[in-house]
Chain A
Amino acid sequence: MRKVYVVGVGMTKVGKHTEVSMRDLAAEAISNALDEVGNEKPEAIVVGNMLSSLVEQENLAALIADHAGLRGICGLKVEGACGSGGVAVLTGYLMVASGLYSKVLVVGVEKLLERPTPDTLRGLAYAADADYELIYGVSFAGLNALIMRYYMSKYNVKREELALWSVMMHQNGVKNPYAQLRNEITLETVLNSPVVADPIRLYDACPLSDGAAAIYLTNEDWKKLSDTPVLIAGVSNAVDSPDLSSRFSLDELFASRLSAENALRMAKLSVKDVDVAEIHDAYTITAAVSLESIGFAEKGKAAKLWSEGRFKPGDKPTINPSGGLKSRGHPVGATGVYQVAEVVMQLRGDFPGVLVPAEVGLTQNVGGVGSNVTTVLLKR
């Protein structure tokens, strides 16, 4: 296996892009990434996307490559629900590590705000089990709410403690020019926001987003394309049941734990080595169980830790300096690529928002309610 480096990144602002088509969003992210590598033409493109069917478009690799002036290269799309970006990074990694390609562009793109919200929410619920869960009308927020109530009851975690996560994320996101929700909020903002799926309130949840991000992957021979190449030291994915019913445990993200353990082992790193991480906080409860599954907190203790001021800029690890899904936003199939691009910029020292001194970074991207999880370890 060849070593794999990230030598270029690009992204669009996350938000509602009514004026911009899906292909143009992707082309903008690609253009920004190609600018960083002197416009060196990639040999292959991997697209991460979950719900392009919402805009009645499949065959995304062909559409995007062609639109971006890359007609003729190898192209494919991968899907892992909200974790599609993560599996796209893993796929791109494999294509370079195997030696089959030397220069691979990974693009995550999503357009969730094109259709009426009920259509989008129904589409997002496709990440769950259609036969045995959707048939009861349970929304994606509803599934996460089941976990949240179980967790709060089992570990005696207070509503207010979980809500503090959102406040912290908006504090970070306000400084991120790419973030969707760039406003500070208070605990009251969260606690007084409408109940979506009790106990989940609107401000426990990430927004619906459009956006695209790209990373340029290459091997030892081409890492000179960048003055500051960042090594992908470890990458691993694990799956769990899409349904909650047959889970081994309701308060642990089993696939996230396995994926983190494997990625850390591959990178020969310990969780204690991580300086900065971008994790998948789709809901405040997702932040808690994610931190615990990766090993940043003991079971049931994550919210206690952040209530005491942990994980903020200056702490090791600093979590979600981008503002996370909560504030940066969650263009689902693009999120895993945003996370890697952001952590690469942290390690290079050029992230335009909250910047933390870092040698080792981690990303964790979750599909479904923890059913498809990719962890990436990045090293300067």
Chain B
Amino acid sequence: MTTIQRIWRIKNILLRLISTRCLECGFIAYPPKASCPKCGSRKVVEEELPKVGEVLTYTVINVPLKGFEEFTPLIIGLIKLGDAKVLAELVDVKPEDVRIGMKVVATLRRSTKTLDGVIPYVLKFKPLTLKLNTTT
């Protein structure tokens, strides 16, 4: 199980989806890296990722990791956000309705309790409705 210290330390990255973009080769990495994974350059800058993207691949987890029993079946997606990919939980959708290529949008949701008993909030992704689609 995670700790309040960890959530506190990375809250900005998790909630704003802060990636790093390489100033030498342009490679964009999420999670953010101290140096570029592609060319090794240390000249990387933080860049906030878009909050709307599409599902590249997904899984429905029936055997939960300890601490995530209440979220089972747990739908996890790898979501393409601009030039980056982000792994996160998919919510507000039935497992059988998830599709590769599905448009999704980030939403703030409760996660599992930390070791210290605190309830952290993280970004999860829900299907982008048509109504939302016209306004974004």
Contacts and interface: CB of A to CB of B under 8 A. Distances in A.
Interface in B81-136: 84-89, 95, 100, 111-112, 122
A358 B99 CA distance: 46
A246 B33 contact: yes
Interface string B34-71: 00011000000000000000001111111111111001
A135 B66 contact: no
Contacts of B68: 137
Interface residues of B, number: 41
A137 B112 contact: yes
B89 A136 contact: yes
A155 interface: no
Contact of A149 (B65, B74, B87, B100): B100
B112 to A, nearest CB: 7
Contact of A131 (B10, B29, B71): B10
A133 interface: yes
A135 B62 CA distance: 17
A198 B65 contact: no
A131 B71 CA distance: 19
Given A134-B65, A137-B74, A250 B31 contact: no
A136 to B, nearest CB: 5
Interface residues of A, number: 39
A246 B66 contact: no
A138 B31 contact: no
A246 B37 CA distance: 8
Contacts of B85: 244-247
Contact of A250 (B6, B56, B64): B56
A241 B59 contact: no
Contacts of B13: 132
A138 B61 contact: yes
Contact of B57 (A129, A138, A149): A149
B106 to A, nearest CB: 13
A155 to B, nearest CB: 13
A195 interface: yes
A195 B75 CA distance: 13
A141 B58 CA distance: 12
Contacts of B88: 136
Contact of A138 (B10, B30, B65): B65
Nearest to A121: B65
A136 B38 CA distance: 26
A142 B59 contact: yes
Q: Name which of A118, A132, A147 has the most chain B CB atoms within 10 A of its CB.
A: A132
A122 B65 contact: yes
Nearest to B2: A135
Interface string A192-203: 001111111000
Contacts of A137: 61, 64-65, 67-68, 71, 74, 76, 89, 112
A245 B111 contact: no
A191 interface: no
Contacts of B65: 118, 121-122, 125, 134, 137-139
Q: Name which of B29, B65, B77 has the most chain A CB atoms within 10 A of its CB.
A: B65
Interface in A292-327: none
A132 B31 contact: yes
Contact of B60 (A135, A198, A247): A198
B66 A134 contact: no
Interface string A333-359: 000000000000000000000000000
B57 A150 contact: yes
Contacts of B60: 195, 197-198
Contact of B58 (A135, A149, A241): A149
B57 A245 contact: no
Interface string B4-42: 001100100110000000000000011101000110000
A153 to B, nearest CB: 6
Interface of A: 118-119, 121-122, 125, 129-139, 141-142, 145-147, 149-150, 153, 194-200, 241, 243-248, 250
19 contacts: A118-B66, A119-B66, A121-B66, A130-B2, A132-B14, A133-B87, A135-B111, A136-B122, A137-B74, A137-B76, A138-B76, A149-B59, A196-B62, A197-B63, A244-B85, A244-B87, A246-B30, A246-B33, A250-B78
